[in-house]
């Protein structure tokens, strides 16, 4: 076996830039013409760095091998500076391959005496090809990484103090004869790993035309690393204002244990869930949160009781895998600030939690950030709240051929990405690349990652962004590749949708993942739309985008949607029943992170995305929204009242529909983003200054100028406004909390199967006569409930008021509970309202005649009660 002895280099004042040779040559460093190295020194340096010369060195050091400690002759070379993106990253070591002992045999400890800090002592062994990543075992740490096309690999050790200085602390060359099994490079090290990180250098062919991007000047992250760190503070540039400072991976230790305090999965039935989509930083970053740790995992912990009060029993965290929020960092001339990747849909590493969502940052090499995420999960479980993760296995942050080499691309680009025959990147994600999900190596990687988050981090479920990409055939798709044997006629082009995708099959039948919730966003940017048709194995649920579109159309009064709206209320059996799925396979939502908030849905007909700096060209143009008569925040009293009614209608519809309701963060108090339906790039007080906007080419009326000034004093696009929530505590938040509580109380609003005529009866303005005509804007039904007895629910989406006739129930009377047309607190007649009896009495003459008056654009719930006067 061979291993490499790191030898400390003495740095001179000269920096010599390495110029890569053309792709047809071996990657031997070439020093620029201003080098002070002599030809002899240059020749010697190439000898040391070139793997092809490793066999020439045993004689040089053979007489040292029988001694427990040896000192190779000092070698003084000028430091090489290697470009890492826009960085200059210095090697502080040279490489000398040396024969090493097998495990279990006395091994030489290499000690290098040099001026300055001494190197750490490491024993180097052959190592094991599994498991992938860095793993504590056999008294040391085993490093294993897959790379089929690399011709050489070097393990780079970087101390926590060297990382911001762009220095490699030590390098260990992996001998392909002893440190490689199949396509897996591996090595076992024993020594002191305190404050030590790692990465890899891979050499091989740099030929984008065949999909290979090997560059030995790049230090790449291990895809299986459990924490990847670079900068420690969210939104703060690296040294020299670098957006992409060098990243490095945490080396695990046996001492890092987390006290779960007996935590175990809650394992709620999916039909009983109420999901809350939220953003970790946005939830508590605003000063009105008054949290000790704003914008962090611990900040969320401080506010979990709000979610408990709302009635939420599941949070869906927008991306918390490691990403670079400065990826889009650029000046926004409209606002006079800088754009960032706030949402996080651009993953750098799938095992690592986002370190800059922690209070610890890079402390303890990222382990403390892991523990803070675990603490969030543990504390959520204590409050009866499950934790889902929004995961992005459709693309990575490395982008297209112009993107950075960070991890997957430098490890084995042709394996991890979906490529065309000439190396071009397929772009089904709309973000530059497409993860090669159904390749055997990649699908095993995804499976390993999900298992880790379930077993190690105690996560309860996953929502898969653009999940339809996971159903597309991989690059180099063929039956042998996937199934092990040829199938006649199996000619599929890359990206073809598969009826039984291997990845989805593996996940659906995995003994660990079968017990967690799996939710697909069943479409992608390549035009594949699979809502109701996603391969499911009767396990997968879907974000029901059709529910969103139909409910928006009906509630705002569009003709022709009464029948489709009724299907939505029943859990969309038209989509899910035939395939053997249940109502709870439909994740119902009206609003989500992308698109209008609930308040903006009833305030704007058009998107207002100028703040994004893209001339209002970004974001969805077809929002199915209605401003209720006037565009924007400034509106008449009557319009504002109608907007409040519509918000109640939407929320009530969400909570009385079969399926699983999902609320978007802030909708419970009426958060506004000023009509911006694509707020991916804002992490600030979004201030629309009137003066700069007047210098733009947009025509601005006086009303628009006033509107901009209004925004400048009130607008906060992506931060939850706790002060606004408190202001609305007696209004919309109260309504949402009580309606959510009502859903939990009703056995009939979370059915395990689609309702039948034995339980549900449809009505129109008169009992038993529903109107499914094109012009109908009224839908009503009664539902038998084992807890409440029977409930009557009606939606009047017409602008006209109507007096409806209620079904007769001898010996019982209908009592009003919810009426979205009433002002708070009479919109929900809870038992604690002092004037409740008086409010009910005002309608007694209608109810005694089995009638109820409904205003236009209103919804109601009536509950059947015994008639004391019968």
pLDDT at 4 over 80: no
The neighbouring-strand residues paired with 89 are: 82
d(CA 756, CA 751): 11
d(CA 432, CA 146): 24
Give me the pLDDT at residue 763, please.
98
pLDDT at 100 over 50: no
Give me the pLDDT at residue 757, please.
96
Q: How far is CA 38 from CA 26, 42, 45, in A?
A: 22, 6, 10
Residues 57-82: tens digit of each pLDDT: 233 223 323 333 333 332 222 223 23
Give the mean model confidence (pLDDT) for residues 363-378. 97
| Tokens linked to 643 | 């907007």
Give me the pLDDT at residue 70, please.
30
Half-sphere exposure of residue 201: CA atoms within 13 angstroms, side-chain side: 25
Give the mean model confidence (pLDDT) for residues 685-704. 42
What is the maximum span of the chain, computed from C-alpha positions, in angstroms?
A: 110
Give the mean model confidence (pLDDT) for residues 753-769. 97
Is-catalytic flag, 465? yes
Give me the pLDDT at residue 481, please.
53
pLDDT at 159 over 70: yes
pLDDT at 589 over 80: yes
Give the mean model confidence (pLDDT) for residues 111-136. 75
Poorest-pLDDT segment among 191-205, 642-656, 837-851: 837-851
Q: Which of 465, 619, 470 is nearest to 543 (CA)?
A: 465
DSSP 523: B
C-alpha torsion angle, residues 33, 35, 40, 45 (rounded to 10): -110
Is residue 386 within 8 Å of 313, Cβ to Cβ? Answer: yes
pLDDT at 745 over 60: yes
Q: Where are the beta strands (DSSP E) in 5-151?
A: 7-8, 16-17, 69-70, 80-84, 87-91, 93-94, 97-99, 109-110, 122-125, 133-137, 140-146
d(CA 590, CA 668): 12
Give me the pLDDT at residue 490, please.
52
Task: Give the residue carrying structure tokens 């019982």.
Answer: 812
pLDDT at 676 over 50: yes
Range 445-450, long-range pairs (CB < 8 A, 24+ positions): 445/132, 445/223, 445/224, 445/350, 446/350, 446/393, 446/503, 446/507, 447/503, 447/506, 447/507, 447/510, 447/513, 448/131, 448/132, 448/224, 449/350, 449/351, 450/391, 450/507, 450/513
Is residue 207 within 8 Å of 231, Cβ to Cβ? Answer: no
d(CA 342, CA 682): 6
Residues 765-806: tens digit of each pLDDT: 999 999 999 999 999 999 999 999 999 999 999 999 999 999
Give the mean model confidence (pLDDT) for residues 544-561. 98
* Cα 631-636-638 angle, rounded to 5 deg: 110
Give me the pLDDT at residue 867, please.
86
Residues 495-532: tens digit of each pLDDT: 999 999 999 999 999 999 999 999 999 999 999 999 99
Give the mean model confidence (pLDDT) for residues 575-580. 94
pLDDT at 612 over 80: yes
Give me the pLDDT at residue 239, please.
87
Residues 169-221: tens digit of each pLDDT: 999 999 999 999 999 999 999 999 999 999 999 999 999 999 999 999 999 99
Average pLDDT value over all residues in the chain: 85
Highest mean pLDDT among 40-54, 298-312, 490-504, 697-711: 298-312
pLDDT at 26 over 90: no
DSSP 529: B
Which among 327, 390, 465, 667 is annotated as catalytic? 465
If one compares 840 and 456, the residue with the highest pLDDT of the two is 456
Burial 604-633 (b: 16+ CB within 10 A, else e): beebbbbbbbeebeebeeebbbbbbebbbb
- The DSSP secondary structure of 377-392, one letter per residue, reads HHHHHHTT-EEEEEE-
How many Cβ atoms from other residues are within 10 Å of residue 14's Cβ? 13
Poorest-pLDDT segment among 39-53, 132-146, 178-192, 757-771: 39-53
pLDDT at 707 over 60: no
Poorest-pLDDT segment among 386-400, 718-732, 742-756: 718-732
pLDDT at 6 over 70: no
pLDDT at 107 over 50: no
- In which band, very low, low, confident or very high, does the pLDDT at 14 lie, cut at 50, 70 and 90? very low
3-state class (DSSP) for residue 865: strand
pLDDT at 400 over 90: yes
If one compares 478 and 216, the residue with the highest pLDDT of the two is 216
Poorest-pLDDT segment among 14-28, 86-100, 209-223, 362-376: 14-28
Give me the pLDDT at residue 475, please.
86
3-state class (DSSP) for residue 472: strand
Give the mean model confidence (pLDDT) for residues 88-97. 41
Query: What is the tally of helices (H) and strands (E) in the chain?
Result: 21, 41
- In which band, very low, low, confident or very high, does the pLDDT at 382 lie, cut at 50, 70 and 90? very high
Is residue 753 within 8 Å of 583, Cβ to Cβ? Answer: yes
If one compares 694 and 229, the residue with the highest pLDDT of the two is 229
Which among 302, 521, 790, 827 is annotated as catalytic? 521
C-alpha torsion angle, residues 233, 238, 239, 241 (rounded to 10): -120
- In which band, very low, low, confident or very high, does the pLDDT at 12 lie, cut at 50, 70 and 90? very low
Give me the pLDDT at residue 474, please.
93
Residues 789-800: tens digit of each pLDDT: 999 999 999 999
Main-chain dihedrals φ then ψ at residue 358, nearest 5 degrees: -105, 160
3-state class (DSSP) for residue 701: coil
d(CA 794, CA 858): 8
Give me the pLDDT at residue 105, please.
34
């Amino acid at each position: 076996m061979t291993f490499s002895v790191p030898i400390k280099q003495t740095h001179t004042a000269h920096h010599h830039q390495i110029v890569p040779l053309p792709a047809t040559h071996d990657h031997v460093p070439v020093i620029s013409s201003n080098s002070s190295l002599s030809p002899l020194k240059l020749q010697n340096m190439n000898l040391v760095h070139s793997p092809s010369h490793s066999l020439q060195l045993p004689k040089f050091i053979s007489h040292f091998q029988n001694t427990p400690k040896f000192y190779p002759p000092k070698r003084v070379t000028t430091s090489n500076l290697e470009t890492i993106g826009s960085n200059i990253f210095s090697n502080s070591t040279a490489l000398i391959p040396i024969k090493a002992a097998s495990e279990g045999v006395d091994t030489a400890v290499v000690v290098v005496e040099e001026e300055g800090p001494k190197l750490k002592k490491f024993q180097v062994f052959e190592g094991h090809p599994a498991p992938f990543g860095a793993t504590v075992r056999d008294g040391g740490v085993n490093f294993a990484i897959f790379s089929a096309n690399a011709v050489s690999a070097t393990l780079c050790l970087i101390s926590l103090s060297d990382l911001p200085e762009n220095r490699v602390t030590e390098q260990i060359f992996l001998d392909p004869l002893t440190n490689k099994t199949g396509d897996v490079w591996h090595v076992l090290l024993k020594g002191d790993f305190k404050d030590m990180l790692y990465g890899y250098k891979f050499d091989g062919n740099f030929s984008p035309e065949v999909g290979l991007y090997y560059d030995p000047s790049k230090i790449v992250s291990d895809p299986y690393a459990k924490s990847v760190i670079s900068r420690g503070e969210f939104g703060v540039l690296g040294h020299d204002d670098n957006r992409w400072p060098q990243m490095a991976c945490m080396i695990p230790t046996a001492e890092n244990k987390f006290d779960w305090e007996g935590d175990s999965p809650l394992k709620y039935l999916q039909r009983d869930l109420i999901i809350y989509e939220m953003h970790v930083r946005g939830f508590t970053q605003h000063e009105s949160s008054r949290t000790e740790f704003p914008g962090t995992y611990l900040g969320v912990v401080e506010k979990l009781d709000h979610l408990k009060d709302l009635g939420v029993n599941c949070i869906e965290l927008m991306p918390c895998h490691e990403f670079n929020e400065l990826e889009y960092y650029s000046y926004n001339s409209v606002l006079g600030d800088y754009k960032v990747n706030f949402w996080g849909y651009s993953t750098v590493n799938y095992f690592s939690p986002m370190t800059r969502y922690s209070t610890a940052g890079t402390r303890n090499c990222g382990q403390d950030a892991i523990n803070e995420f675990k603490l969030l999960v543990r504390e959520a479980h204590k409050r009866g709240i499950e934790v889902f993760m929004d995961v992005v296995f459709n693309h990575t942050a490395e982008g297209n051929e112009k993107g950075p080499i960070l991890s997957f691309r430098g490890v084995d680009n042709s394996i991890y990405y979906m490529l065309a025959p000439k190396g071009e990147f397929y772009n089904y994600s709309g973000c530059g690349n497409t993860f090669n999900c159904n390749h055997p190596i990649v699908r095993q990687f995804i499976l390993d990652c999900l298992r880790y988050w379930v077993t190690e981090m105690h996560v309860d479920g996953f929502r898969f962004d653009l999940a339809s990409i996971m159903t597309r055939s991989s690059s180099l798709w063929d039956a042998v590749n996937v199934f092990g044997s040829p199938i006649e006629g199996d000619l599929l082009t890359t990206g073809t949708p598969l009826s039984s995708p291997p990845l989805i099959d593996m996940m659906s039948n995995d003994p660990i993942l079968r017990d967690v919730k799996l939710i697909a966003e069943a479409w992608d940017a390549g035009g594949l739309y699979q809502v109701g048709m996603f391969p499911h194995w009767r396990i997968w649920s879907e974000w029901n985008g059709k529910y969103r579109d139909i409910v928006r159309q009906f509630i705002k009064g569009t003709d022709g949607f009464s029948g489709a709206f009724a299907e939505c209320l029943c859990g969309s059996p038209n989509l899910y029943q035939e395939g053997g799925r249940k109502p709870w396979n439909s994740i119902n939502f009206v609003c989500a992170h992308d698109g209008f908030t609930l308040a903006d849905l009833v305030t704007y007909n058009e998107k207002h995305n100028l703040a994004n700096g893209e001339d209002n060209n970004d974001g969805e143009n077809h929002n199915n929204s209605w401003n209720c008569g006037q565009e924007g925040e400034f509106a008449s009293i009557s319009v504002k009242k109608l907007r409040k009614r519509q918000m109640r209608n939407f929320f009530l519809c969400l909570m009385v529909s079969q399926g699983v309701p999902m609320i978007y963060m802030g909708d419970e108090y009426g958060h506004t983003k000023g009509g911006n339906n694509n707020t991916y790039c804002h992490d600030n007080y979004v201030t629309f200054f009137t003066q700069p906007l007047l210098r733009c080419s947009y025509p601005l009326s006086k009303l628009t100028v006033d509107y901009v000034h209004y925004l400048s004093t009130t607008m906060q696009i992506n931060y939850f406004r706790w002060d606004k929530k408190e202001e609305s505590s007696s209004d919309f938040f109260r309504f949402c909390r009580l309606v959510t509580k009502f859903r939990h109380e009703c056995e009939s609003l979370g059915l395990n199967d689609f309702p039948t005529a034995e339980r549900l009866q449809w009505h129109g303005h008169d009992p038993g006569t529903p109107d499914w005509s094109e012009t109908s804007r009224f839908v009503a039904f009664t539902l038998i409930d084992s807890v409440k007895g029977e409930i009557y629910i009606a939606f009047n989406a017409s602008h006209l008021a109507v007096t409806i006739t209620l079904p007769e129930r001898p010996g019982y009377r209908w009592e009003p509970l919810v009426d979205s047309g009433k002002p708070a607190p009479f919109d929900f007649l809870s038992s604690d309202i002092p004037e409740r009896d008086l409010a009910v009495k005002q309608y007694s003459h209608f109810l005694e005649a089995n009638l109820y008056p409904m205003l236009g654009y209103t919804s109601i719930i009536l509950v059947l009660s015994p008639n004391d006067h019968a």
